[in-house]
């Protein structure tokens, strides 16, 4: 069986810096392996562990998982934490299951195709949610998360994926009320207004094109 774990500093346990999976039930054994290789592996997490040494703490988030479940849970948790602004040291989106190994473009393509459409089970999602619930972030951690989000420019491809994912999605009455309350009294810049006009024009053009097709 396998385990999903996180690494953080003893002084700031709520600020997760790395998410990993291991075949060890005792994740401290995996941390020991990390430390032993820290000076010989050229990776951000290795440099971070080498710098902080005994201050690094390993926490088991989930246990008793199959290797496949662990890989999917790792992908899910990395995505969740990155979306929340955590400054993870992971170099990939997770699920590789090999330390320090860089896959070729062909291997990455095959993994992407193999994983397409696969999702973490509701049970695993619930376990991840329960493991993270109740965690309170320090003001310092909140500040760093806020700074990490500021100025983040999305690529056109990323924006398009977000747009497509939102098509047809309806906000709950509670969400709509929050959006409305947040917008009241807000003054938009001329540039922002122009961007809205352009976006509305493009949307109408797309809708017209879809009708014609």
Q: Is the pLDDT of residue 101 over 50?
A: no
Q: Is the pLDDT of residue 88 over 90?
A: yes
The distance of Cα 211 from the centroid of its chain, to the nearest Å, equals 36
DSSP lists the bridge partners of residue 22 as: 3
Q: What is the C-alpha to C-alpha distance for residues 203 and 131, in angstroms, rounded to an integer?
A: 41
Higher per-residue pLDDT: 1 or 127: 1
Output the pLDDT for position 166.
59
Q: Is 5 helix (H, G, I), strand (E, B) or coil?
A: strand
How confident is the model over 50-61, as pLDDT tens digits? 999 999 999 999
Question: What topology does CATH give the domain 2-152?
Answer: GIY-YIG endonuclease (3.40.1440)
Q: What is the C-alpha to C-alpha distance for residues 160 and 147, in angstroms, rounded to an integer?
A: 24
Q: What is the CA radius of gyration of the chain?
A: 21
Q: What is the C-alpha to C-alpha distance for residues 76 and 70, in angstroms, rounded to an integer?
A: 10
Beta-carbon contacts of residue 44 (< 8 Å; ≥ 6 apart) = 89, 91
H-only helix segments in the chain = 27-37, 44-52, 67-83, 105-115, 122-132, 139-149, 156-166, 173-183, 190-212
Q: Is the pLDDT of residue 99 over 50?
A: no
Do residues 6 and 58 touch, judged by C-beta distance below 8 A? yes
Q: What is the C-alpha to C-alpha distance for residues 89 and 82, in angstroms, rounded to an integer?
A: 10
Q: Identify the top-confidence range among 128-132, 171-175, 176-180, 208-212.
A: 208-212
- What average pLDDT is seen over the chain? 75
Question: How much is the average pLDDT of 93-115?
Answer: 57
Q: Is the pLDDT of residue 103 over 60?
A: no
When pLDDT is cut at 50, 70 and 90, the band that residue 182 belongs to is: low
């Amino acid at each position: 069986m396998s385990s999903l774990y996180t690494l953080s500093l003893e002084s700031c346990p709520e600020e997760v810096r790395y998410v990993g999976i291991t075949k060890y039930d005792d994740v401290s054994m995996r941390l020991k392996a990390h430390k032993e290789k820290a000076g010989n592996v050229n990776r951000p997490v290795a440099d971070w562990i080498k710098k902080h040494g005994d201050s690094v703490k390993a926490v088991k988030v989930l246990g008793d998982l199959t290797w496949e479940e662990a890989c999917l849970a790792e992908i899910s948790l990395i995505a969740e934490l990155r979306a929340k602004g955590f400054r993870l040291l992971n170099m990939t989106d997770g699920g590789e299951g090999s330390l320090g190994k860089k896959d070729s473009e062909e291997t990455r393509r095959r993994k992407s195709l193999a994983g397409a459409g696969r999702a973490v089970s509701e049970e695993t999602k619930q376990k991840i949610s329960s493991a993270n619930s109740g965690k309170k972030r320090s003001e310092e951690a909140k500040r760093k998360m806020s700074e990490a989000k500021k100025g983040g420019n999305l690529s056109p491809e990323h924006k398009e994926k977000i747009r497509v994912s939102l098509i047809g999605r309806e906000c709950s009455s509670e969400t709509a009320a929050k959006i409305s309350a947040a917008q009241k009294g807000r003054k938009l810049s001329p540039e922002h207004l122009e961007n809205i006009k352009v976006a509305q024009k493009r949307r109408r053009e797309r809708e017209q094109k879809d009708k014609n097709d």
